[in-house]
């Protein structure tokens, strides 16, 4: 296992009591998360859960036409595969790597066994699921009522919270697919942010230069999601950058 990787870089794993970590950590497998990798497709039976460390995973809903839209992003604050311990075993969404990095993989049955002990793991997973539902609900509202400019700001901020730096590797076409909008809309919105000195964009690399201004330009959706996540999971996005460094 590479020296630079540690399960505690995922905030859920780090928050587990010592006895739970003793049972689970030996069964974790470090796996690479290359950009664009699909962890599961709509309707697939899930066998594993994934705890991202420095990668970001997008959950997308895909229409029959092939059009898609992101419903949530998951990074070092959470896990991919909540359907396993919620009893569904599968989901109509697609999970795809939005930002490359690594994650720890665990057999779903191991997680369910721990979940069914009705201890700290169960409480932690339920709080995380509530935070995830909040993000999904707010994303739906944002996509319906706010401009592409505001949606892009929200998306950038949510991504930044889950990365160790102020840089994102993402093409405008991929961002458009995530937001479910035309690429021209993203190009226009990104151009405005660049002119304002908020971001610098070049060859698929986005550098956020002025985060406070980005937060001011975003709609209230980002603040709602962050406030609820911090309330339910107070250990997550506050010290995550220090844990990944």
Assessment of whether the complete model's pTM goes beyond 0.75: yes
**Confidence band, pLDDT 50/70/90 cuts, at residue 31:** very high
Q: What is the mean pLDDT of residues 153-158?
A: 92
Top pLDDT among 141 and 27 is at 27
Cα gap 192→194, rounded to integer Å: 5
pLDDT band at 34 (very low <50, low <70, confident <90, very high): very high
Beta-sheet strand order (sheet of 167-169):
167-169, 205-208, 199-202
Q: Report whether 77 contacts 45 (CB < 8 A).
A: no
Which is more confident, 207 or 164?
207
Using the predicted structure, report yes or no on whether residue 243 has a pLDDT greater than 50: no
User: Residues 34-52: what's their mean pLDDT?
Assistant: 90
- Which pLDDT score is estimated for 1? 42
Q: What mean pLDDT do residues 116-126 have?
A: 89
Q: What is the pLDDT of residue 175?
A: 81
Question: Each residue of 67-112: pLDDT tens digit?
Answer: 778 889 999 999 999 988 887 777 788 999 988 999 999 999 999 9
Mean pLDDT of the chain: 86
Average pLDDT over residues 4-12: 91
Q: How confident is the model at residue 235 (pLDDT cuts 50, 70, 90)?
A: low
Residue 242 predicted with pLDDT over 50: no
| Superfamily (CATH) of domain 1-116 | Jelly Rolls (2.60.120.10)
Q: Specify whether the CB–CB gap between 163 and 199 falls below 8 A.
A: no
Q: Is 144-222 a CATH 1.10.10.10 domain? A: yes
Angle between helices 148-160 and 172-179 (to 10 degrees): 100
Domains of the chain by residue range: 1-116, 144-222
User: What value does the mean pLDDT take over residues 128-141?
Assistant: 91
| Band of residue 141 on the pLDDT scale cut at 50, 70, 90 | confident
2: left (phi over 0), alpha (psi -120 to 50) or beta: beta
The Cα–Cα gap between 139 and 145 comes to: 10
Q: Which of 132, 60, 114, 115 is nearest to 92 (CA)?
A: 60
């Amino acid at each position: 296992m590479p020296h630079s990787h540690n399960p505690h870089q995922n905030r859920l794993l780090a928050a587990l009591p010592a006895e739970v970590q003793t049972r689970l950590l030996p069964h974790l497998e470090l796996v690479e998360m290359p950009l664009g990798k699909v962890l599961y497709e709509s309707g697939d039976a899930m066998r594993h859960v994934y705890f991202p460390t420095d990668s970001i995973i997008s959950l997308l809903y895909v229409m029959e036409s092939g059009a898609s839209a992101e419903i949530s992003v998951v990074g070092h604050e959470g896990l991919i595969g909540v359907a396993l311990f919620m009893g569904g075993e599968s989901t109509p969404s697609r999970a795809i790597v939005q930002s490359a990095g690594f994650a720890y993989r665990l057999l779903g049955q191991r997680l369910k066994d721990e979940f069914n002990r009705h201890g700290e793991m169960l409480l932690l997973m339920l709080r995380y699921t509530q935070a995830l539902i909040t993000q999904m609900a707010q994303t739906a509202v944002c996509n319906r009522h706010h401009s592409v400019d505001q949606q892009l700001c929200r998306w950038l901020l949510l991504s930044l919270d889950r990365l160790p730096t102020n840089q994102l590797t993402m093409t405008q076409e991929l961002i458009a697919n995530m937001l479910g909008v035309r690429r021209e809309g993203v190009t226009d919105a990104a151009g405005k942010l660049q002119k304002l000195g908020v971001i610098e964009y070049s060859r698929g690399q986005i550098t956020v230069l002025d985060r406070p201004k980005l937060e001011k330009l975003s709609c209230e959706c980002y603040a709602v999601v962050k406030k609820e996540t911090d309330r339910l999971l107070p250990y997550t996005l506050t010290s995550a950058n220090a844990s990944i460094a």
